[in-house]
Amino acid sequence: MHLILDHYATHKTPDIKRWLLAHPRFHLHFTPTSASWLNLVERWFAELTQKKLKRGVHHSVQALERDIRSWLADWNQHPRPFVWTKTADKILDKVATYCRRISDSGH
């Protein structure tokens, strides 16, 4: 099973590495650093932050939670797909550059 993950450090702890060694069926692949645009979850949270939270004023945790729940309800009622603005060639070029960089890193 191939799992695609971001570069968050928790995916690389000794406990995770031991678990993966004991479960060779699982293979981790990491998205490139500086490529959060590949991670649609991060892109969605950026949307939430930009459109709802950045300029919001919340006088309590409950008010913040209400705003987030309101955003979720609206998003679920009117989902909007993310549209890639880069061509496939530009994306593949960026991935190739990343692959060259990590293969030359000496690790």
The pLDDT score that the predictor gives to residue 44 is 85
pLDDT above 90 covers what percent of the chain? 23
Q: Among 22-26, 50-54, 102-106, which is the least confidently predicted range?
A: 102-106
Residue 33's alpha-carbon distances to 44, 64, 94, in angstroms, are 18, 30, 11
Residue from 37, 13, 16, 40 nearest 26 by CA: 16
Give 30 or 62, the one with higher predicted confidence: 62
First CA to last CA distance, the chain: 24
Could you tell me the two tokens for 17? Answer: 């590495």
User: Does the predicted model carry a pTM greater than 0.75?
Assistant: no
Q: Which pLDDT tens digit goes with each residue over 35-83?
A: 666 677 778 888 899 988 888 888 999 999 999 999 999 999 998 887 7
CA distance linking residue 93 with residue 31, whole number of Å = 14
The pLDDT score that the predictor gives to residue 23 is 93
The pLDDT score that the predictor gives to residue 55 is 82
At 28, give phi and psi (nearest 5°): -95, 140
CA distance linking residue 69 with residue 73, whole number of Å = 6
106: pLDDT strictly greater than 60: no
**Mean pLDDT, residues 77-98 taken together:** 85
Residue 12's alpha-carbon distances to 8, 9, 17, in angstroms, are 8, 5, 6
Could you tell me the two tokens for 7? Answer: 């570069």
